[in-house]
Amino acid sequence: MDWKDTLNLPKTSFPMKANLVEREPSFLEFWEKEKIYEKMLEKRANAPLYILHDGPPYANGHIHLGTALNKILKDIIVKSKSMAGYKVPYIPGWDCHGLPIELKTEQELGVKRGELPPLVIREACRKYAQRFINIQKEEFKRLGVFAKWNEPYLTMNFEYEASIAREFLRFLETDQIYQRKKPVFWCPNCVTALAEAEVEYAPHKSPSIYVKFPFTEKLKIFIEEKTNIKIDKPGYVLIWTTTPWTLPANLALAMNPEFDYLLVEWDGEYYIVAEGRVSALCAEMNRDLPKILAKIDPKELEGKKAKHPFYDRESLIILGDFVTLDTGTGIVHIAPGHGEEDYHIGLKYGLEIYVPVDQEGRFYEDVPLIGGLNIFKANKVILDILKEKGHLLYQDTIEHSYPHCWRCKKPVIFRAEDQWFISMEAKDLRKKALKSLDQVKFIPSWGRNRIYSMLENRPDWCISRQRVWGVPITVFKCAKCGEILKDYKYYQKIIEIFEKEGCDPWFVKSAEELLPEGTTCPKCGNTTFEKEKDILDVWFDSGVSFAAVLEKRSELSFPADLYLEGSDQHRGWFHSSLLCSVGTRGVPPYKAILTHGFVVDGQGRKMSKSLGNVIHPQDLIKQYGAEIIRLWVSAEDYKDDIKISKEILKRLVEAYRKIRNTFRFLMGNLYDFDPKKNLIPFEKLPEFEQYILYRLSKVIEKVKKAYEEFDFHIVYHEIHRFCVVELSSLIIDINRDYLYCEAPDSFKRRATQTVFYYALDSLVKLMAPILSFTAEDIWQNLPYEKEEISVFLTDFPSYKFELSADKVKNWEKILEIREEILRALEIARKDYKIINTFLEAEVFVKAPEELKGYLENSAFWEYFIMVAKFSLIDEIIETGENEIVCDSEEIKGLKIKIKPTEYKKCERCWQRKPEVGKLENPELCQRCYEVIKNR
């Protein structure tokens, strides 16, 4: 007879092979068709809200691993918070305006800036953004992410655009907005500002000149006093520049406070230059080394002045870290209206942002000596003037990399233009923002420091962009007196227009058409107005999302419980959102900030095309399925950089299989188990089963806490470990005999199934936020009645299986002893080959007094370590034949003897038992005999 047919072998429809790549779409379909996410929200209609506010990705290009990581983390939170009892409405968003899209659009249309009317560009940009929103939306969905995909927030939606303008006006109304000049790349040929991305660097020939700034009388006296040297000949501060035309705008001379400077004598003239440049200068100018007269501390020169080389004014000596010894003289000529660093240091020293150059690159008529001249032509004139004044020490030409306009290919200049700023100080925005951070929880905690120091040091926020794809800076100015209209009433009309038609009208209608009828200037009574041309920085767009989304949608609330983005957003969205919210509401828009690191390769290097180490989520989905990406996200500690490599993926796939197979076994052995009828109460279970359930409830506790603290890698490790240890290698292996061989409805079998049931029921729920596809797959294949149609509609398990501390200790000891015996058995099997399987072994144990209590129950140990015979004996007698004896290394005094059994094998359960051969059916053991008889 083939006894196999009499066994209760596992039965399940749940396939061993996941086939994730092919099968995942069917689960996506199921979730969508059954509206599972909507049902999750409905089910928790009255539950406390948990608001995870989505930081909008830029609607440009496909998603990459970084965006995938971010959305999956958010999804894990949405699902886990929901299953922990919250209502979690998650509205995905997209950032739609801005230069990159505008540039891409121009590229696709084959045009350059200004060649098409604003509305044509705007329409094309809108289409472009929408295209990528659709693409990304599908890509996010494919990852198994739950969200209100049909009602996302888009920063280009009309209502959103109106919100942006409204928030800007709040700042304007409260006097936190001002206008000031700031240098930008400027193309005098195209008469337009350029963004950094619109600038191409190309070789360019420039004059290279060394210019002498004469000492003022005061400076001369100061130096004489300091050095005890009589300055009886002309003395100069020497600078180097490649843009002579910026000299008319010179207001200062910058020295590095860390460098040493020298007073030197060259051909009967005195100069101040950096010590570290002297020899290089000589080489360049073909001069002998100068006579070094004295060392000068630049810090002492701060605030002193030199004379302008050709104007009757003075130039302030200031200190700046940015001055280097790479080129020049170690002293930099500063024109705050014509350079980025010049501008910043100019602000610091309170210098005027002076721009003597008009939009077409000509000096204004009233500029002495060169008025009306084109700047590049003025270069030569300025050289002549310098020569004539004797203030040109040396002249040459150099070829260097210089910015050019990508449109006309002509060299561009740096030129300050009027820009709009949000003031950090006017209404104490900086102070308030810093203080508000105390109300925010940062995960990890160092995030606070990071945003704090950025906030502490940041300049006023320049919100102007000279572009068209965005929301206009809605400011009207009196055409006559220049008064800025600040009151909201002047903008009521335009906000209404934005809400209905978006911002387009601003670009085509006149100020008078956009203002309420009959508007007059409150200052001068004039009736004509100008409207601002600049648009808002896109960081302002996304920065006000709390107002446009959280406050606007009734299902949401402000402030959000959580913002979750990459650590770069400390300067980005976290930062801009904070300023927007504190500036208008006085509080941060979030209660907590969670940040993750960046995706790097196996060596910890960033992914880049040039390194060739880029991994695309699309490829991973094709090869492994989205589930493995989700598992990867959970397995790695995202607070640090997140590594990914072939090996990591291989490990994850293996771990995935182990988890899946463990579940498959649990399910396969519950085919005839009805929890309503067959569940055995915890108190009645055998102690081993109780112990496993106790371990299970520890895992439940730990995993739930890990979700609460966003430690998802702990979730993964715990679940995986539990599958491997407590389930696979302990109860599954040990109790398999009960499952297969005992009568179907026997206590032992039902007890084991009870443990399986609890493990399956809790783990499938606990893993669902991470292994969403697989959890749903398992849920749909549950062998018993489901409580809900989807696992996501259930709650996290709340089972508590308590065990007294004594019992826990007892079990830990038993497991320790078990390991010792297994070690001995392994020696018998592997080294001495006296047995093939442990089932064939007889085990004799001699134990120290304190351990005897654990070892007295032979029947238990025979079952627990699955051997033919077990006995605790007082003395181990070595016969030396076909046996091994070994001393435990770990437990002192424990001695173990192993020998093969003489018992015959029961053909049904394969256990060796003394009664086999002696019963009515000689092939069976007592237990199997009875099971068969009573079938």
Partner RNA sequence: GGGCCUAUAGCUCAGCUUAGGUUAGAGCGCACGCCUGAUAAGCGUGAGGUCGGAGGUUCGAAUCCUCCUAGGCCCA
Closest approach of RNA to the CB of residue 26, in Å: 21
642 binds RNA (CB under 7 A): yes
812 binds RNA (CB under 7 A): no
- Collect contacts of 602-608 with beta carbons under 8 A, ≥24 apart: 602/643, 602/644, 602/645, 602/646, 602/647, 602/648, 604/641, 604/643, 607/65
Cβ-contact 53, 90 below 8 angstroms: no
641 binds RNA (CB under 7 A): yes
Q: How many CA atoms lie within 13 A of 349 on its CB side?
A: 24
Cβ-contact 363, 378 below 8 angstroms: yes
Residue 572 CB coordination number (10 Å): 16
258 binds RNA (CB under 7 A): no
Query: In the complex with RNA, which residue's Cβ is closer, 391 or 660?
Result: 660
Phi first, then psi: give them for residue 205, nearest 5 degrees: -95, 125
Tell me the one-letter amino acid at 622.
K
815 binds RNA (CB under 7 A): no
Q: Which of 606, 622, 684, 705 binds RNA (CB under 7 A)?
A: 606
For 261, the 3-state DSSP assignment is strand
Residue 698 CB coordination number (10 Å): 16
374 binds RNA (CB under 7 A): no
For 734, the 3-state DSSP assignment is helix
Query: In the complex with RNA, which residue's Cβ is closer, 386 or 699?
Result: 699
Closest approach of RNA to the CB of residue 841, in Å: 11
Query: In the complex with RNA, which residue's Cβ is closer, 391 or 570?
Result: 570
Cβ-contact 843, 860 below 8 angstroms: no
Closest approach of RNA to the CB of residue 459, in Å: 9
709 binds RNA (CB under 7 A): no
Q: Which of residues 435-454 bind RNA (CB under 7 A)?
A: 444, 446, 449-450, 453-454
Nearest CA to 64 among 152, 130, 155, 140? Answer: 140
Q: How many CA atoms lie within 13 A of 581 on its CB side?
A: 27
Q: How many CA atoms lie within 13 A of 186 on its CB side?
A: 23
Q: Which of 199, 724, 886, 932 binds RNA (CB under 7 A)?
A: 724
74 binds RNA (CB under 7 A): no
201 binds RNA (CB under 7 A): no
Piece of the chain touching RNA by CB under 7 A; list 2-10, 95-103, 239-247, 798-806: 2-10
Closest approach of RNA to the CB of residue 771, in Å: 15
Nearest CA to 723 among 761, 760, 768, 675? Answer: 760
**Element holding 346 (H helix, E strand):** helix 340-348
830 binds RNA (CB under 7 A): yes
325 binds RNA (CB under 7 A): no
705 binds RNA (CB under 7 A): no
725 binds RNA (CB under 7 A): yes
Closest approach of RNA to the CB of residue 725, in Å: 5
398 binds RNA (CB under 7 A): no
95 binds RNA (CB under 7 A): no
900 binds RNA (CB under 7 A): no
How far apart are alpha carbons 186 and 190 in whole angstroms?
A: 9
Q: Which of residues 461-480 bind RNA (CB under 7 A)?
A: none
Residue with tokens 């069917």: 26
Q: Which of 410, 431, 657, 813 binds RNA (CB under 7 A)?
A: 657
672 binds RNA (CB under 7 A): no
Residue 449 CB coordination number (10 Å): 12
Q: Which of 7, 49, 293, 932 binds RNA (CB under 7 A)?
A: 7
How far apart are alpha carbons 319 and 299 in whole angstroms?
A: 7
Piece of the chain touching RNA by CB under 7 A; list 134-142, 149-157, 248-256, 716-724: 716-724
613 binds RNA (CB under 7 A): no
Phi first, then psi: give them for residue 504, nearest 5 degrees: -45, -45
Q: Which two tokens stand for residue 645?
A: 């490599």
Quote the strand ranges of 215-260, DSSP E. Answer: 235-241, 252-255
Piece of the chain touching RNA by CB under 7 A; list 102-110, 520-528, 693-701, 823-831: 823-831
Closest approach of RNA to the CB of residue 749, in Å: 13
Tell me the one-letter amino acid at 134.
N
Query: In the complex with RNA, which residue's Cβ is closer, 4 or 409?
Result: 4
Tell me, residue by residue from 328 to 367, as one string, x for binding to RNA by CB under 7 A and - for no binding. Answer: -------------x--x-----------------------
Closest approach of RNA to the CB of residue 722, in Å: 9
How far apart are alpha carbons 693 and 682 in whole angstroms?
A: 8
19 binds RNA (CB under 7 A): no
Nearest CA to 777 among 713, 767, 797? Answer: 767
857 binds RNA (CB under 7 A): no
Query: In the complex with RNA, which residue's Cβ is closer, 311 or 860?
Result: 860
777 binds RNA (CB under 7 A): no
How many chain residues interact with RNA (CB under 7 A)? 77
Q: Which two tokens stand for residue 826?
A: 């392994």
Q: Which of residues 573-602 bind RNA (CB under 7 A)?
A: 597-598, 600, 602
932 binds RNA (CB under 7 A): no
DSSP string computed for 494-524: HHHHHHHH-SHHHHHS-HHHHSPTT---TTT
Q: Which of 460, 636, 726, 842 binds RNA (CB under 7 A)?
A: 636
Tell me the one-letter amino acid at 540.
F
Q: Which of 79, 908, 912, 927 binds RNA (CB under 7 A)?
A: 908
Query: Which are the contacts of 76, defined by CB distance < 8 A and separation ≥ 6?
Result: 630, 633, 634, 712, 769, 770
How far apart are alpha carbons 779 and 765 in whole angstroms?
A: 9
Rg (CA), the chain: 39
How far apart are alpha carbons 915 and 467 in whole angstroms?
A: 93
Closest approach of RNA to the CB of residue 805, in Å: 19
Q: Which of 140, 210, 573, 665 binds RNA (CB under 7 A)?
A: 665
623 binds RNA (CB under 7 A): no
Q: Which of 317, 548, 825, 841 binds RNA (CB under 7 A)?
A: 825
Q: Which of 91, 732, 767, 894 binds RNA (CB under 7 A)?
A: 732
Mutual angle of helices 646-668 and 626-635, in 10-degree steps: 100
701 binds RNA (CB under 7 A): no
387 binds RNA (CB under 7 A): no
Q: Which of residues 516-575 bind RNA (CB under 7 A)?
A: 566-568, 570-571
698 binds RNA (CB under 7 A): no
327 binds RNA (CB under 7 A): no
Cβ-contact 413, 188 below 8 angstroms: yes
